[in-house]
């Protein structure tokens, strides 16, 4: 079962906010406040807003919530936020290992030159060298010294990326120096989200083929000279290729101006002549391919892609392409197969990338020649760009985590276990999911990059984390709350119903037990759990947001829960923070008709709106330390004056809010969690890692 990520729901809100930005927004009396940095602060709304919220009260299930009429809180100027961040995310689109120990990969950062990384000891140590180009399109090494990379440069991005030039570079000294062997204007088709990164195939230092600009080229002198291949098929466009040692090669490509057919062509003389082996006709949409691979002269596989229904057929031949049999049907979009490889007639793997989501990617393995596939990806192997099987046991993969930053993992047992080898993992683990701090030093968290079921502990304010335990038997851990150094609670998610299970520990997370198997069965079907907290060993609260916004409370240690609807849902999400069982805040996302709003819940009697955020503002996170001191992270999608993120703070229970803009160009998007242990010490978990503040949010330091 695929996990729906927070960012997927975030994208729904993005679309709604963008629609709002295109519509006219009318307000009452407004002011403009200049911040101390000279940047125009957020627009104030002094208008009296009364929202009638129907539904059950916070004390029962029958009477409507009491809605109070109050003047909107003021949003005033504040000093800019300071942030120290040395972390810079990157992609790893391609890898190429020549044996179990020697391999190469390329790091790619937009706006920067490429970097070649290499290892000669199986990933224990890595060397980094500058590589020309802005985007890498393929890489192929024939040994530990000689290799080629296909790069693009002169690239700009305005909606879509366009590049002026494509170059083929060659090295004979493991990347210490490069020479240009071929160059042409880039004519790449960018109508597809995913591009083929298997465009080079060299058999030795002289003989090779290159698939570029919709044509296939052959070289016999290491790339100094190339000859374009003539396939002899009208309107044939090569898409993927598979060349064996010697003169035998296969190419899969579209046929016709409308790409209505897909054909496989075979050469027995290195591209001199070609014979059509298979032709498949599209049903209702263009037909393409997502790969072709032969393991010997007889056995090979072809994956088609019917773009209209994001589905494809996996074909197999055992007689050198004379006959093909359909072995399985594969989903070819969200997630999209980025590569597949077989090591023998039975064992193979397929890597997947989610694209725009809202599903995960990963790695799937087959042991029956492609008839069935089973996931073997570790917990957070979210989006896999490329996979390489050195053997049925030795596998390498280049992937992106949920934050979009790249890493390389390796398995030496056929995918049963994985180890991150680049970048070198921290001596202690780093959490990727929910956190719970007891004070400025002591905290617990869940999830690591390779295992979403691990529980972690810090004793130094998040500077380092140690793995306490791994709670097996669940798809993932979702939320965590500790009330002391010994006692805590975790919500786990499993495939079988009821999907949400409440677990408890009394020994600091070393061992866990189920509180009650069906305690949280009412949560099935809920989109997100945005707040979860136990206040003592008996009293706890969680806030679930989907079409309905529901507060759940327990007074018996989690064995039973009572729900209360917090107003009628709009289909958009809401976030919440409760300082006690009865007092809290609900932060509703906006839509095309209404901006985001903050409501106060007091004494369990009802809620009233206390703040309307500007139309351009999207609330990312909310946290309070007590009934007076609170924090909101708000993103400005219009990036007014170059500022995209704002920290709003209150010290009087929300009557007055101070806007602290982050510096221009600060990239702290996709915030997962914001939590404060006291008025000064807080932690911000976002896509680049964890940032810590020791002065109430005015300055932040990224810890990883």
Q: What is the 3-state secondary structure (H, E, C) of 575-641?
A: EEEECCCCCEEEEECCCCCCCCEEEEEECCCEEEEEEECCCCEEEEEEEECCCCCEEEEEEECCCHH
pLDDT at 48 over 60: no
- According to the model, what pLDDT value does residue 685 have? 87
User: Per-residue confidence at 488, pLDDT binned at 50, 70, 90?
Assistant: very high
On average, the pLDDT of the chain sits at 82
Question: pLDDT, tens digit, for every residue of 516-527?
Answer: 988 898 887 666
pLDDT at 24 over 60: no
Average pLDDT over residues 476-483: 94
Query: For 307, which DSSP code?
Result: T
pLDDT at 402 over 80: no
- Distance from C-alpha of 529 to C-alpha of 550, rounded to nearest angstrom: 10
- According to the model, what pLDDT value does residue 359 have? 67
Which residue has tokens 């993005």?
14
User: Per-residue confidence at 574, pLDDT binned at 50, 70, 90?
Assistant: confident
Question: pLDDT, tens digit, for every residue of 315-360?
Answer: 999 999 999 999 999 999 888 999 999 999 999 999 998 876 556 7
Concatenated DSSP letters for 356-405? T-SS--EEEEESSTTS--EE---TT--EEEEEEESSSS-EEEEEE-TTS-
pLDDT at 12 over 50: no
Average pLDDT over residues 618-631: 91
Contact by Cβ (8 Å): 433, 445? yes
Question: pLDDT, tens digit, for every residue of 176-217?
Answer: 999 999 999 998 876 665 788 999 999 999 999 999 999 999
- According to the model, what pLDDT value does residue 404 have? 62
Average pLDDT over residues 72-89: 67
- Distance from C-alpha of 659 to C-alpha of 303, rounded to nearest angstrom: 53
- According to the model, what pLDDT value does residue 21 have? 37
- Three-state SS string over 7-42 comes to HHHHHHHHHHHHHHHHCCCCCCCCCCCECCCCCECC
Q: Which residue has the higher pLDDT, 620 or 348?
A: 348
User: Per-residue confidence at 110, pLDDT binned at 50, 70, 90?
Assistant: confident
Q: Which residue has the higher pLDDT, 561 or 45?
A: 561
- According to the model, what pLDDT value does residue 568 have? 52
User: Per-residue confidence at 34, pLDDT binned at 50, 70, 90?
Assistant: very low
User: Per-residue confidence at 32, pLDDT binned at 50, 70, 90?
Assistant: very low
């Amino acid at each position: 079962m695929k996990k729906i990520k927070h960012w997927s729901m975030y994208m729904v809100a993005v679309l709604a906010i963008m629609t709002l930005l295109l519509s006219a927004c009318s307000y009452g009396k407004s002011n403009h406040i200049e911040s101390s940095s000279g940047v125009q602060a957020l627009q104030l709304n002094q208008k009296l807003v009364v929202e009638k919220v129907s539904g059950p009260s916070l004390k029962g299930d029958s009477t409507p919530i009491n809605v109070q009429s109050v003047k909107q809180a003021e949003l005033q100027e504040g000093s800019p936020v300071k942030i120290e961040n040395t972390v810079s995310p990157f992609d790893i689109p391609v890898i190429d290992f020549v044996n179990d120990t020697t391999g190469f990969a390329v790091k790619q950062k937009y706006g920067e030159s490429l970097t070649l990384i290499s290892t000669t000891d199986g990933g224990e140590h890595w060397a980094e060298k500058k590589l020309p180009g802005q985007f890498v399109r393929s890489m192929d090494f024939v040994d530990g010294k000689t290799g080629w990379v296909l790069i693009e440069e002169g690239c700009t991005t305005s909606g879509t990326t366009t590049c002026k030039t494509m170059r083929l570079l060659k090295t004979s000294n493991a990347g210490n120096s490069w020479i240009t062997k071929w160059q042409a204007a880039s004519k790449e088709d960018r109508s597809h989200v995913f591009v083929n990164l298997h465009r080079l195939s060299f058999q030795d230092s002289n003989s090779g083929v290159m698939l570029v600009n919709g044509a296939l080229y052959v070289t016999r002198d290491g790339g100094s000279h190339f000859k374009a291949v003539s396939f002899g098929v009208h309107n044939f466009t090569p898409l993927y290729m598979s060349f064996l040692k010697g003169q035998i090669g296969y190419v899969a490509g579209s046929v016709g101006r409308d790409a209505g057919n897909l054909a496989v062509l075979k050469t027995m003389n290195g591209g001199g002549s070609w014979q059509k082996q298979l032709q498949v006709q599209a049903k209702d949409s263009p037909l393409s391919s997502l790969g072709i691979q032969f393991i010997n002269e007889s056995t090979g596989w072809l994956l088609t892609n019917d773009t209209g229904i994001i589905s494809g057929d996996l074909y197999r031949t055992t007689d050198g392409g004379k006959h093909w049999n359909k072995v399985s049907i594969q989903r070819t979009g969200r997630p999209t197969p980025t590569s597949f490889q077989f090591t023998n007639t039975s064992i193979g793997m397929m890597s997947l990338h989610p694209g725009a989501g809202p599903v995960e990617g990963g790695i799937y393995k087959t042991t029956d020649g492609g008839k069935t596939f089973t996931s073997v990806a570790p917990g957070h192997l979210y989006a896999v760009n490329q996979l390489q099987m050195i053997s049925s046991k030795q596998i390498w993969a280049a992937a992106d985590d949920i934050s979009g930053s790249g890493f390389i993992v390796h398995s030496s047992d056929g995918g049963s276990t994985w180890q991150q080898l680049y970048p070198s993992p921290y001596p202690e683990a780093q959490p990727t999911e929910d956190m719970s701090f007891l004070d400025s030093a002591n905290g617990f968290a869940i999830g690591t990059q390779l295992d979403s079921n691990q529980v972690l502990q810090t004793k130094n304010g998040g500077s380092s984390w140690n793995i306490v335990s791994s709670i097996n038997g669940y798809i993932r851990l979702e939320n965590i709350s500790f009330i002391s150094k010994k006692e805590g609670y975790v919500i786990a998610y499993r495939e079988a119903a009821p999907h949400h299970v409440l677990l408890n520990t009394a020994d600091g997370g070393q061992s866990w037990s189920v509180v009650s198997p069906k305690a949280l069965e009412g949560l099935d079907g809920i989109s997100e759990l945005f707040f979860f907290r136990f206040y003592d060993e008996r009293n706890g609260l969680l806030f679930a947001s989907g079409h309905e916004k529901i507060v759940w409370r327990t007074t018996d240690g989690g064995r039973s829960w009572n729900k209360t609807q917090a107003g009628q849902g709009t289909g958009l999400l809401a976030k919440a923070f409760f300082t006690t069982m009865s007092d809290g805040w609900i932060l509703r996302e906006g839509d095309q008709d209404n901006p985001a709003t903050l409501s106060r819940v007091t004494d369990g009697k009802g809620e009233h709106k206390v703040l309307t955020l500007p139309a351009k503002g999207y609330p990312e996170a909310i946290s309070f330390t007590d009934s007076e001191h609170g924090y909101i992270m708000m993103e400005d999608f219009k990036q007014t004056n170059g500022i995209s993120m704002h920290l709003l703070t209150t010290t009087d229970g929300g009557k007055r809010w101070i806007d602290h803009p982050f510096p221009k160009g600060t990239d702290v998007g996709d915030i997962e969690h914001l939590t404060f242990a006291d008025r000064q010490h807080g932690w911000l978990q976002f896509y680049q890692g964890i940032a810590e503040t020791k002065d109430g949010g005015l300055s932040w330091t990224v810890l990883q």
